[in-house]
Amino acid sequence: GKSDSSMRELFIARIIWMALSAITLFSSSILIGGILWSPNARSQGYNLYLIFLAIPDALANLMILVRNGLTVSNTPAHPTVHVFLVSYEYFYAASNMWLNAVIVGQILQVLRKSKMCIKIAPLSVKTVFIQAGLTYAWASLWFAWAF
């Protein structure tokens, strides 16, 4: 009947979503690994921004794989597991939003100094770690509130 057809379509949609999430997780992991593998690449602040943006993406896609995998396989899981997986979306959204805001602020500073012909020092690794750490801490509060 119609119910069986809807369930089959939902199952197929979840499988496609899982496949796309797996591809994105793999791509994010390659990006993170590639930058970390190269001493030169990982010593540049702007490359570290890419890593800190990719980490929540990779984790979000891992959560999607787990959540949909549990659903598709009809694997029983404690409700807390599902709440955790859904609550992660708050961390994901907050970390991406605020880290993008930090990066835009850095780019704005570079553009302003460039316009005034002021030499710009490369962004330090320490600065990026502090900014990302504070952003992740703030996003973790969002997650804790949701969880």
Give tens-digit pLDDT for 23-77.
999 999 999 999 999 999 999 999 999 999 999 999 999 999 999 999 999 998 8
pLDDT at 107 over 70: yes
Asked if 10 contacts 17 with a C-beta cutoff of 8 angstroms, the reply is no
pTM score: 0.85
pLDDT at 2 over 80: no
Asked if 132 contacts 48 with a C-beta cutoff of 8 angstroms, the reply is yes
Rounded CA gap, 64 and 57, in Å? 11
Q: What is the mean pLDDT of the chain?
A: 93
| Predicted pLDDT of residue 137 | 97
| Predicted pLDDT of residue 82 | 85
13: closest CA among 1, 21, 23? Answer: 21
pLDDT at 1 over 80: no
Residue 143's pLDDT band (boundaries 50, 70, 90)? very high
